[in-house]
Chain A
Amino acid sequence: MQTELVDRARRGDREAFAVLAGGAVDRLYAIARLILRDTELAEDATQEALVRAWRDLPSLRDVERFDAWLYRLIVRACADIGRHRRRWRAEIAVLRTEPAEPDRTSELADRDQVERGLRRLGDAQRTILTLHFYLGLSPSEAAEALAIPVGTAKSRLHYAIEALRAAIAADERTSSGVLREDRTA
């Protein structure tokens, strides 16, 4: 069904493309939000990816690879938007995120800690984590979406996990420091 729609859209059928876009927009938006951690930028990236998809559809060789191709487009759109964002990232870096509230459940606090750790990572690291842990792509599938060698995808995944581990540890140090300051105040 989808391959037929893709084939029609590839030949310029806007109605077919509207069906495809409607089926993909939420998924692409979710990916963009996880990578960019910003609602408005994710909206921009989603629009950019879908318009690029329409414009470049005739160059898609294998209609069966439409989903993987879309992932590549959303990753690229996020990378482009992320590059512009880095100019002012230093400003938000000094905005300290609030530590987990002590009365929350440990599960929620744990989730918040991972969330804050992810915010400390770069877009490329969040991208590989999103592809692997959210979409469930294998390293070779993620490599295809990112247009990089499989080994590079594996390496990037390894270092992204290590960077997240370090970010969480740094967050714990910051949180405990804040708590100490609160007690002494």
Chain B
Amino acid sequence: MTANHDLERRIAAFYATEAPSRAPDWVLASVLTTVDITPQRRALIRVPWRFPPMNTYAKVAVAAVAVIAVGAIGLAVLRPGTSPGVGGQPTASPSLSPSPSASPSASPVPPPALTETFTSERHGFSISYPTGWVARPATEPWTTGIPNFESTDGDVIYDPARDAGHLWIMVASQPQAGKDGVQWVDDALTGLSSAGICEPPLEQVSIDGAQGGMCASSVSAVSAGDRGYLILLYVSGDDPRDAAIYDQEYFKEILATVQVRPEDAVDEAPSASP
């Protein structure tokens, strides 16, 4: 905790001493020149900054309605022989060649299929993940804190096409150390909430028979036998499209592939080489 505060103090000190940057004068001059020749957009309807959260099915439904609406308007406008002109007189304009209809590509990009399987030698579970992602097994037991992308105590599966640490799954497990399953899960979720990682509302979850809880921010803690498991899907948000693709529904798909094998977990640190 002290280390956390120390780093936050260093970050705050860095920003406090960062010299106030003065923009070159030409930046403002250029903006005002552009503004002089740029009309404002008319706001017929003031839309909110963001729409209420929708689940995947709702998004698909909205997209489908939009595609149908575009298609219907396109048909009404383009269909030959249905000119809205009075008397239905044929027009002299050249006939329209078949034009592409509303493209089905307007629908949301589907999340990648979970085609690969990773089996953890250390934490005792298996999980499916998308093609092309890379699994980086943990090299030491998870004993404290919350494993992250850089740490070596959690199994990390990540998309190598992205910048490091921007899109990844992490799973780690540890003995419950005398706690019962409910207490371990409760403590884990409390710790995650304190760290700002667990966004309410919480919901109960069952993963391969292991009971626990799941936060809205795609983090889950469950108990199996005498082990506690932490599973999370991290999306940095660098690419705004990710929020719609790697959402909680996708996280649930991932969770549905997890098989817990607490009896296979290994808690000893690797022995030092001679």
Partner of A47, one of B15, B20, B22, B31: B31
Q: Are A159 and B23 in contact (CB under 8 A)?
A: no
The DSSP consensus for interface residues of chain B is: loop
* Alpha-carbon distance A150/B53, docked complex (angstroms): 13
Partner of A133, one of B11, B31, B42, B243: B11
* Alpha-carbon distance A155/B47, docked complex (angstroms): 27
CB distance from A20 to the nearest CB of B (A): 11
CB distance from B156 to the nearest CB of A (A): 12
- Nearest residue in B to A151 (C-beta to C-beta)? B199
Chain A contacts for B165, CB-based, 8 A: 122, 125, 159, 163
* Alpha-carbon distance A35/B236, docked complex (angstroms): 15
Q: What mask results when residues 176 to 219 of chain B are scored 1 for a CB within 8 Å of chain A, else 0?
A: 00000000000000000001111110000000000000011100
CB distance from A113 to the nearest CB of B (A): 8
B239 at interface by CB-CB < 8 Å: yes
Q: Are A59 and B11 in contact (CB under 8 A)?
A: no
* Alpha-carbon distance A144/B50, docked complex (angstroms): 9
CB distance from B228 to the nearest CB of A (A): 20
CB distance from A54 to the nearest CB of B (A): 5
Chain A contacts for B54, CB-based, 8 A: none
Given the known A-B contacts A29-B27, A159-B165, are A150 and B21 also in contact in the complex, defined by CB atoms under 8 Å?
Answer: no
A177 at interface by CB-CB < 8 Å: no
Q: Are B236 and A124 in contact (CB under 8 A)?
A: yes
A8 at interface by CB-CB < 8 Å: no
Q: Are A155 and B23 in contact (CB under 8 A)?
A: no
Partner of B41, one of A58, A72, A86, A118: A58
Partner of A123, one of B50, B216, B238: B238
B69 at interface by CB-CB < 8 Å: no
Q: How large is the interface on B (under 10, 10 to 19, 20 to 34, 35 or more residues)?
A: 35 or more
Given the known A-B contacts A47-B34, A158-B195, A163-B150, are A29 and B23 also in contact in the complex, defined by CB atoms under 8 Å?
Answer: yes
8 A Cβ contacts from A118-144 to B: 118, 122-125, 129-130, 133-134, 139, 144
Q: What mask results when residues 215 to 241 of chain B are scored 1 for a CB within 8 Å of chain A, else 0?
A: 111000000000000000010111110
Q: Are A43 and B216 in contact (CB under 8 A)?
A: no
For A, the interface residue count at a CB cutoff of 8 angstroms equals 68
8 A Cβ contacts from B114-162 to A: 148-151
- Nearest residue in B to A72 (C-beta to C-beta)? B49
Q: Are A46 and B27 in contact (CB under 8 A)?
A: yes
Chain B contacts for A152, CB-based, 8 A: 199, 217, 237
* Alpha-carbon distance A157/B149, docked complex (angstroms): 14
Partner of B215, one of A29, A33, A46, A151: A151
Instruction: Write the residues of chain A forming the contact surface with B, with a CB cutoff of 8 angstroms.
Output: 12, 14, 17-18, 21-22, 25-26, 28-30, 33-34, 42-43, 46-47, 50-51, 54-59, 61, 69, 72, 79, 82-83, 86, 89, 110-111, 114-115, 118, 122-125, 129-130, 133-134, 139, 144, 146-152, 154-159, 161-166, 168
Across chains A and B, which 4 residue pairs bring their CB atoms closest together, nearest first? A151-B199, A154-B196, A166-B150, A29-B23
User: Beyond A28-B23, A114-B14, A149-B199: 4 further Cβ-contacts under 8 Å?
Assistant: A43-B24, A51-B35, A55-B40, A157-B196
Instruction: Write the residues of chain B forming the contact surface with A, with a CB cutoff of 8 angstroms.
Output: 3-4, 7-8, 10-15, 17-18, 20-24, 27-28, 30-32, 34-36, 38-43, 46-50, 53, 148-151, 163, 165-166, 195-200, 215-217, 234, 236-240, 243
For this complex, 24 residue pairs linking A to B, each with C-beta atoms less than 8 Å apart, are: A14-B35, A21-B32, A25-B27, A26-B21, A26-B23, A30-B18, A30-B21, A43-B24, A46-B27, A47-B27, A47-B30, A50-B28, A54-B31, A124-B166, A124-B237, A130-B15, A147-B50, A148-B237, A149-B53, A151-B200, A154-B199, A159-B234, A161-B8, A164-B7
